[in-house]
């Protein structure tokens, strides 16, 4: 039987073809764009034909690549389906995808309790802010913030109370000093800490949205420090560098410990919550145990 190309080369092609961009494909596979390019060149050499052509800054699939992509995606789906069947047991690896902030601030400090209760289940955390492509990634379930409407997927709320509150948080020291932070208008004297991942989100609240919601017009909502994820913004708030917006559910441990305070009682209530999201075909005992454990932890 003719030897097939390496799976890495095929995965690189599938990701690059789907995104029409080597850089985005590299981010998804956690490699460099150069590595993607090398894998695709190796595949082109094996096949003896070109798979992509350059068009400005983008790459465009050739006719041959367009013929290859659907069948390759179907093959990856069959592989994943087979692996899922093997994983339908009460032991082994359970891969959970979630955001870095949720993992670091809420899930990780509690995870030892799950391990103590289910010592035969090994958890692997995959932290990122994008929606999981279950047909292409070896992930059992994702924990995501939204309205629970994910076409083709099952979404179970991990809290009995729907909706989350977005609140301003800061170091307790900002409540005192020359410019005490006592009301929303006082934000004009303090640094705003921005999570830039909120900018392109329909479900998350940015500083401009929050200030408009409380009716404050004297604060420049664009100024301040900007970060690539909410964990950095929250940690900057803890260290006293300014005021961040955080989901009350995620920062509640820091509030309880006194690392953070809510300077004024003006929460922005959203019709969104955290959900455990997964395809129906991924349901197994490990995932059922994990979901029940999440519910128990959220009620504490």
Tokens of 268: 């922005």
CATH class of 164-270: alpha beta
User: How is residue 185 annotated by DSSP?
Assistant: G
78-114: per-residue pLDDT in tens?
777 666 555 555 668 899 999 999 999 999 999 999 9
The pLDDT assigned to 255 comes to 95
Cβ neighbours of 258 (radius 10 Å):
9
**Same topology between domain 7-85 and domain 164-270:** no
CB 137 within 8 A of CB 107: no
**How far apart, in whole angstroms, are the C-alpha atoms of residue 187 and residue 169?**
11
Angle between helices 33-47 and 7-19 (to 10 degrees): 110
Chain centroid offset of residue 105 CA = 13
Q: What angle do CA 224, 225, 231 make, to 5 degrees?
A: 135
10-57: per-residue pLDDT in tens?
988 998 888 888 888 888 888 888 899 999 999 998 888 999 988 776
180-191: per-residue pLDDT in tens?
999 999 999 999
Instruction: Name the more confident of 31 and 225.
Output: 225
The pLDDT assigned to 4 comes to 75
**How far apart, in whole angstroms, are the C-alpha atoms of residue 37 and residue 199?**
31
Cβ neighbours of 165 (radius 10 Å):
15
CATH class of 93-160+273-298: alpha beta
Instruction: Name the more confident of 33 and 237.
Output: 237
* Annotated domain spans of the chain: 7-85, 93-160+273-298, 164-270
- CATH code of the domain occupying 7-85: 1.10.10.10
Q: What is the DSSP string of 250-271?
A: HHHHHHHHTS-B-SSS--EEES
């Amino acid at each position: 039987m003719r030897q097939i190309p390496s799976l890495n080369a095929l995965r690189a092609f599938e990701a690059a073809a789907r995104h029409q961009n080597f850089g985005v494909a590299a981010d998804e596979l956690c490699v460099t764009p150069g590595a993607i390019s090398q894998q695709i060149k190796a595949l082109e050499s094996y096949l003896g034909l070109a798979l992509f052509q350059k068009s400005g800054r983008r790459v465009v699939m050739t006719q041959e690549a367009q013929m290859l992509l659907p069948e390759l995606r179907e093959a990856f789906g069959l592989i994943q389906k087979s692996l899922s069947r093997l994983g339908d047991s009460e032991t082994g690896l359970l891969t959970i995808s979630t955001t870095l902030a949720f993992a670091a601030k809420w899930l990780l400090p509690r995870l030892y309790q799950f391990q103590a209760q289910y010592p035969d289940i090994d958890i692997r955390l995959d932290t990122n802010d994008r929606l999981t492509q279950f047909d292409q990634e070896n992930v059992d379930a994702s924990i995501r913030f939204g309205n629970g409407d994910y076409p083709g997927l099952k979404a179970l709320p991990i809290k009995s109370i729907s909706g989350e509150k977005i609140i301003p948080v800061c170091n307790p020291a900002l409540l005192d000093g020359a410019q005490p932070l006592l009301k929303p208008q006082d934000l004009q004297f303090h640094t705003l800490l921005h999570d830039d991942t909120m900018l392109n989100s329909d479900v998350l609240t940015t500083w401009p949205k929050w200030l408009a919601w409380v009716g404050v017009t004297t604060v420049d909502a664009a100024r301040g420090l900007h970060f690539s994820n909410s964990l950095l913004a929250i940690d900057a708030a803890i260290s006293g560098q300014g005021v961040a917006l955080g989901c009350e559910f995620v920062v509640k441990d820091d509030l309880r410990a006194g690392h953070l305070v809510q300077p004024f009682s003006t929460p922005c209530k959203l019709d969104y919550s955290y959900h455990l999201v997964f395809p129906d075909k991924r349901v197994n005992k490990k995932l059922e145990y994990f979901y029940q454990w999440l519910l128990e932890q959220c009620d504490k």
